[in-house]
Chain A
């Protein structure tokens, strides 16, 4: 995964990361959640740790760049793409998205079901743009897809999620 250039273009909300541990504490939890939304299932934590480890292994170089956090997220989502390519579709559908019992509200359940019906690329765009607030151009750069593709995916994801919640479409 070579994502220095991509990371530089992604303005993830982070001020000044001085040391790797600061980056970890600020972003690890958000990253695992974003990966779970994107369909990582049980592998979310493993992928997040692998992305963090890769960042740490190159930390001297990465910290001198403009956006260490962007590097982590980009690495994680590209690892997720590879994970999806190597995982059979049947295995993907078995990974439930819903959290523990404390999170089992009706909205959560229908959103999780809506996510489970989305294709992986659409879920990844939803995670990056809706959950993390990235622009479609930034998401496209991270996922190595065309910006127009990212816009279409985001539109479909919004529509699916709103339909699941019973909210009117745009």
Chain B
């Protein structure tokens, strides 16, 4: 008795389930569940990577204060001539389609349009490449900017069939004579186009010079321009001869982000910085230590003025370096009475434990 005969007897000894349509339906349902689970796990992995980066843990060990958005692993290279997709590897441009979200977000004077990518591949992948955006006004090119999604930003992972923001087209003080056309190329094989209505000019036309292609804001990354609203609490606290005003900030972002580089000074009502006050202007020494949870008012720092003394009304002004992260805040103060001490000092002081 050879194996063939033995196999036939074995096959006859056990049942075989028919290939029914019901079983096929269950298989399709299970496969869909697996794809969804893979997408969720991929997203969770991305969050873990970003959180680890936000906590300042470098991949080779040792603390790092400054947060690098999107600290991820280098995407796996894909050999030419093969179409195998490495899970979480580089996206193939042919599988990716890109679009520009017509919904405009405005923070401060900056308008933003999200650039969205979606992959048709079976596995999550990372969009790596240079995105170039061009805006033209009635056929006339206004500006062209580009941004490279490199390994640094590889924390952006496209889950299969899930539209994901990969970058933002940010236009500060948008202004145009007529409708504006956006063209975005890169990452995907086909360009994305969007025509937006005339951008009314609140200020002088800037010809698109303030167009910026921003990387997508990742959790723990630097808060984008104009995203933080600063306020100075008018209710000062006096301890001894020192008066303190609390600065708070609120993020208008969708994810937690960080800031650095706060400046503060005491000015006259007409904008002249009172350099005669020791410590004025003051600079914050924090390095990405201020963490902002979306829509929650967060403590930033205190303005501290010991023995405040002025010959007239003054203004406390705080703002981020070069307007990054957000516009500034001002607080008008009446004349500060001098009590015979003219050696007061102004500064930005944090607290022992920041949130």
Asked if A107 meets B3 with Cβ closer than 8 Å, knowing A49-B30, A53-B34, the reply is no
Residue-wise, chain A 42-85 has the 8 Å CB interface mask toward B (1 for contact) of 00110011101110111111001000000000000000000000
How far does the alpha carbon of A61 sit from the alpha carbon of B84 in the complex, in Å?
A: 6
Known contacts being A50-B30, A53-B27, A61-B85, is A29 close to B18, with CB within 8 Å? yes
List which B1-32 residues lie within 8 A (CB) of chain A.
1, 3-4, 6-7, 9-19, 23-24, 26-28, 30-31
- How many angstroms from the CA of A44 to the CA of B23 in the assembled complex? 13
Contact of A111 (CB < 8 Å), options: B13, B23, B35: B13
Segment of A10-18, A127-135, A140-148 engaged in the interface with chain B: A127-135
Does B28 contact A130, Cβ atoms closer than 8 Å? no
For chain B, the count of residues having a C-beta within 8 Å of the partner chain is 33
Cβ-defined contact, B30 with A53, below 8 A: yes
User: Is A97 positioned at the interface, with any CB of B under 8 Å from its CB?
Assistant: yes
Q: B19 near A167 (CB under 8 angstroms)? A: no
- Do the beta carbons of B24 and A103 come within 8 Å of each other? no
- Contact present for B24 and A21 (CB under 8 Å): yes
A contact residues around B23 at 8 Å (CB): 28, 45, 49
B38 at the interface (CB under 8 A from A): yes
**CB-defined contacts of A107 to chain B, threshold 8 Å:** 9, 12-13
Check A93 for interface membership: any CB of B closer than 8 A. no
When distances are taken between beta carbons in the complex, the residues of chain A under 8 Å from B84 are: 61, 64
Judge whether B1 and A165 touch: CB under 8 Å: yes
- Bound together, the chains give a CA A60 to CA B123 distance in angstroms of 9
How far is the CB of B250 from the nearest CB of chain A, in Å?
43
Would you list 20 pairs from A and B whose C-beta atoms are within 8 A, ordered by A residue?
A: A21-B24, A24-B19, A29-B16, A29-B17, A33-B15, A36-B15, A49-B30, A54-B31, A60-B85, A60-B122, A61-B85, A98-B13, A98-B14, A99-B13, A103-B13, A107-B12, A126-B10, A129-B3, A133-B7, A161-B10
